[in-house]
Structure 1
Amino acid sequence: MYDSCLDGTVNGTATYTTSFTGYGAAISFNQSSYQYVSIASGVLPLNCRSFTIEAWIYPISLLTSSDYGIIGQCQALTNFECFHFIIRGNKLYCGFFGSDVAGGTSVKMNEWCHVACVYDFATQAQQVWLNGYVDGSHICSPYNGSQGQTTIGASFHSSTHAIFNGYIDNVRYEARAKNSTEILNDASLSVYHSFDGGSLNDSGPNDINGTVSGSLPITSGRVNQALQFASGSYMYYQYPPFYFIGIDGYPFTKALWVKPNGTNTTQTLVFLKTTSGWCVHTLVMTSNRQLAANFWTGSSISTNGSIISLNTWTHIGYTYSTSNGIRLYINGVQYSTTGPFMSNTHSMPMSIILGGDAGHTVCSPGYGGAFTGAIDEFYVYRRELNATEIWALANP
């Protein structure tokens, strides 16, 4: 997905592949075929100003001896008139020709990662970011090139014409220097549903919108409005956008507000499944309204929470990492944990059902059922949030 102001022309016979969210498409570049996207000169201004350029990339078979362009813009091969955001020696480089900032971490092959190049005109700080964190920084003069086509998947900063090899998705440009919180959110917030006005649209950075089965009326929320679940209604996604949960041991976080008002039956809050039929009831209330958090290691692993009160808003945080296992938070405070374990999730993209299990009762653990009550402020992150971050979500 490209920003609407960055419409470009594909050079070569570039193809398309599944995007990092599972929705839409990412562009696929092959270095040997000289493929890239070009944007007309003057459309994307970088000169004498702050800016942030971000993208999701999936590198394939990069050689340490070659350069691979992510974004480029070159007016002339002179200092501060040729911008290049590239991978060199498997590490990120962002420069204005003659003044580069290098990343310190090798980019992984065959894995989606979030990259950013940021320049702050006021402080003259030039930075590269990898997966939401600063990977290199220094001070340099502003970029001065006012002309020259912008390229995606290429950088014409040298006679080698660095062409990317792999996939690129969600290229974004903003004429300001984003702060650390914004970039970390762009890199790690997978989906956020506020449900305000009854909307199932994603308020996060990825436009991952939900779909309703049945009817989900608007009700008063913990923050503005919420959705009312009853009679087997649930929210789901028409494609599996949560690829990262399908990577064994990949950290993630789910958080939401719930206000149950139903009878004492087993009810599913958050359900996880693949298109092949693998599934797990990751957050449920048992028949006595005790919260249980579940996952899969080759067999079921669980940790129990408190009894959830009827007609009262309760915040639930569920985090996972190999070093901590499941940590279950109630109203911003850690309640229980499984201890460390390695997840076993069949290496497939995942989809989430919220407020039920759509009748998928033959899963582990073997219980489910529809939720009756209200749900608000649903978040999914591609990382394990810490206790301070969970506390902030529970105290909006």
Structure 2
Amino acid sequence: MIDTPGFNDTNGTEVDEYNLTLIEETRKSLPYLSGIIIVANGALPRLGVSFKNFLHLLHQVWPNDLLNKIVYQSARNATTVPLVIAFWPFDNNTLDLYGDYDGTLIGSGTYTTSFLGYGTALNLVQSASQYVSITSNHLPLNSRSFTIEAWIYLTSSTANDYGIFSQCPSTSANLCFDFMTRTNRLYCAIYTNGTQGATLMTINTWYHVACVYDMITQTQSVWLNGVLDGSSSATAYQDASGTTTIGAIYNSSSTVCFNGRIDQVRYESIAKTASEILNDATLYVYYSFDSSSLIDNGPNGINGTSFGNVTFTAGVVNEAARFSSGPYLYYTYSPFYFLGINNHPFSISLWVQPMKNYTESTLVFVHKLSGWCVHFLVINSTGSLKACLWNGGNVILSGPILPLNSWTHIGYTYSAINGIQLYINGTLYSTTGSITFSASGVPMNIILGSDKGFTYCAPGYGSSFTGTMDEFYLYSRELSASEIQTLSNP
């Protein structure tokens, strides 16, 4: 039994406890559920990213027939639908991570470096008719809400179509679903009910794309980099037997393939909310440091590696990472492509607790494998916080003196229009005004808690941090003041 205060069941009755029938067969405990959501007689409310990642783990541990007892309970409707999740990371194969909807590569597509820095992406050439066909099981899109997400990278511009995802056994009413780019814009259609995106995409750029169908409101929408780009009305897709294709729109008369790279394709049988899609597209890493772990709790699985003995202790929320003048968190690859792009917006949020005494110390250090580097967040010898950037010269924004042995929330946002905005405990402290960001031009690394001795990098000092960090977030967009305020009040 778990407490679920304030949640209404499918009959509209507020409940406090539900019997976890889901786990009777396994007798496993589910601490992630306690006080947050419920699983009850196969009903589950709408969830955020962290729990959906936990569901993915369940799928790997438990038989599919048991997992299929889990269903989402939409806050907008009393009807429950079976939860179906499929994920194709394209790490040198076309397998579904959960083993249900494995694909077959048609036309000898190749694999190339993923935008994440680890693993691979699928590279497809339209003229060679390369795509993925999923025939291992029927993927259920019919008579339900669903969300399809992917990362795409166009390598050529065209007025024609490039297929992303399709299930189209017949070009008849409600029996053909296509998700594609059309004239360099997103396009999603159930038969002739199509939704065209408003934004022109450019070549050689990674984009997060999504198509959402909401059966309750009978609307379909396309999303670009987490932002709604177009929507329209559409009747639900009806076919229950068609073949699914990735990288092609396919029907009995033609196959129109993608031209470029596709990565991290995900299907979920729910209509994701605007905030969920925005998180999937722009929350790049999130380290809670809970369970004494450097695992990424965000959508991308960019787990950290510790150098030296990073320990764990009580934090602002559950556990935090303790750095003792030497250990640090780093990566063995370069996962942060957007930090290498001129003027690309980003945001950092974290809690810090300096300890012992004030010395020059690094909180967040950004670098490429050789050459370009900046201490994004650093403390000087008097305890003053500095937020730094590079625009052909050092940009240094001063913050307050951070109190020793006390927690302070730091928010650092950047955009070319607003420049650096430094927030302390949820309140704007200082800003540079509009400035440019002269990036390296290549994917970047981040080190938390050290600069590995590169003290010559802007602003010219740094070294190891002694203290504690908690709740580290990195976004590939500029957060608003209200979003920073929310993160400062976990």
Q: 1:27 aligns with which of 106, 115, 122?
A: 122
Alpha-carbon contact 1:42-1:148 (below 8 Å) kept: no
2:214 aligned to which of 120, 130, 133: 120
Distance 1:264 1:90 in 2: 53
How far does residue 264 in structure 1 lie from its aligned partner after superposition? 1.7
Shift, 1:340, TM fit: 1.0
Q: Give the corresponding residue for 1:196.
A: 290
1:94-105 counterparts in 2 under 5 A?
Answer: 94-105=188-199
Distance in 1 separating the partners of 2:477 and 2:467: 28
Distance verdict in 2 for CA 1:270–1:123, change over 3 Å: same
Task: Give the TM-score of the pair, scaled to structure 2.
Answer: 0.79
Deviations, residues 204-235 of structure 1 (Å, cap 9, x unaligned): 00000000000111100001100110031000
CA distance in 1, matches of 2:261, 2:356: 47
Structure 2 equivalent of residue 297 of structure 1: 391
Percent identity for Structure 1 against Structure 2: 55
Contact kept, 8 Å, 2:193 with 2:233, in 1: the verdict is: no
**Quick one: which of 415, 431, 435 aligns to 1:337?**
431
Which residue, 134, 139, 142 being the options, matches 1:47? 142
Alignment match of 2:106 (pick from 11, 33, 38) = 11
CA distance in 2, matches of 1:245, 1:341: 15
What is the Cα deviation at residue 134 of structure 1? Answer: 1.0
Contact 1:6-1:39 within 8 A present in 2 as well: yes
Give the TM-score normalised by structure 1: 0.98
Q: How does 1:206-217 map to 2 (within 5 A)?
A: 206-217=300-311
Match of 2:421 in 1: 327
Following TM superposition, by how much is the alpha carbon of 1:6 offset from its aligned partner in structure 2, in angstroms? Answer: 3.4
Greater shift in the superposed pair: 279-288 or 357-366:
357-366
Q: Deviation string for 1:44-100 (max 9, x for gaps)?
A: 110000100000000111311x11100011121111111100111111111111211
* Structure 1 position 362, deviation (Å): 2.2
In the TM superposition, residue 244 of structure 1 has moved relative to its aligned partner by 0.3
Please tell me the residue identity of whatever aligns with 2:126. Answer: Q
Report the equivalent of 2:158. Answer: 63
| Conserved 8 A contact 2:357-2:404 | no
In the other structure, the counterpart of 2:274 is 180
Tell me what 2:334 maps to.
Answer: 240
Say what the alpha-carbon RMSD is for the aligned residues: 1.1
Superposition map of 1:66-81 within 5 A: 66-81=160-175
- The structural deviation recorded for 1:358 is 1.2
Does 1:36 pair with 2:131? Answer: yes
Report the Cα offset of residue 119 of structure 1. Answer: 0.6
Instruction: Check whether the contact 1:42–1:147 (CA below 8 A) recurs between aligned residues.
Output: no
**Cα offset, 1:159, TM superposition:** 4.0
Q: Distance in 2 between matches of 1:343 and 1:55?
A: 28
**Stretches of structure 2 lacking an aligned partner (at least 5 in a row):** 1-88, 91-95
Q: Name the aligned partner's letter for residue 46 of structure 1.
A: L
Aligned residues: 395
What is the CA–CA distance in structure 2 between the aligned matches of 1:46 and 1:69, rounded to whole Å? 17
Residue 314 of structure 2 aligns with which residue?
Answer: 220
- 1:337 and 1:194 map into 2 onto residues whose CA distance is 27
Letter in 1 for 2:172: T
Q: Secondary structure at the match of 2:174?
A: coil
2:230 counterpart SS class: strand
Residues 163, 178 of structure 2: 8 Å contact kept: yes
Q: Is the 8 A contact 2:102 2:136 kept in 1?
A: no
Within 1, Cα distance between the matches of 2:227 and 2:433?
27
Structure 2 counterpart of 1:237, one-letter code? Y
Distance 1:120 1:83, change over 3 A: same
3-state DSSP of counterpart to 1:6: coil
Measured after TM superposition, the shift of residue 41 of structure 1 is 6.4
Partner of 1:230: 324
Contact 2:156 2:259 in 1 (8 A): yes
Show structure 1 runs of 4+ deviating over 3 A.
Answer: 157-160
| 1:278 maps onto 2:372 in alignment | yes
* Cα distance in 2 between the residues matched to 1:121 and 1:42: 23
Return the alpha-carbon distance in structure 2 between the equivalents of residues 329 and 197 of structure 1. Answer: 28
Aligned to 2:41: none
Q: Contact conserved, 1:21 with 1:243, CA < 8 A, in 2? A: yes
Cα distance, 1:42 vs. partner? 4.2
Per the alignment, residue 363 of structure 2 pairs with 269
5+ unaligned residues in a row in structure 1: which ranges?
none
- Report the alpha carbon displacement of residue 7 of structure 1 after superposing the two structures with TM: 2.0
Task: State how far apart, in whole Å, the 1-side matches of 2:416 and 2:223 are.
Answer: 24
Residue 148 of structure 1 and its aligned partner are, at CA, apart by 1.5
CA contact (8 A) 1:72 1:156 kept: yes
Corresponding letter in the other structure for 2:345: P
Give me the whole-angstrom Cα distance separating, in 1, the residues matched to 2:227 and 2:251: 26
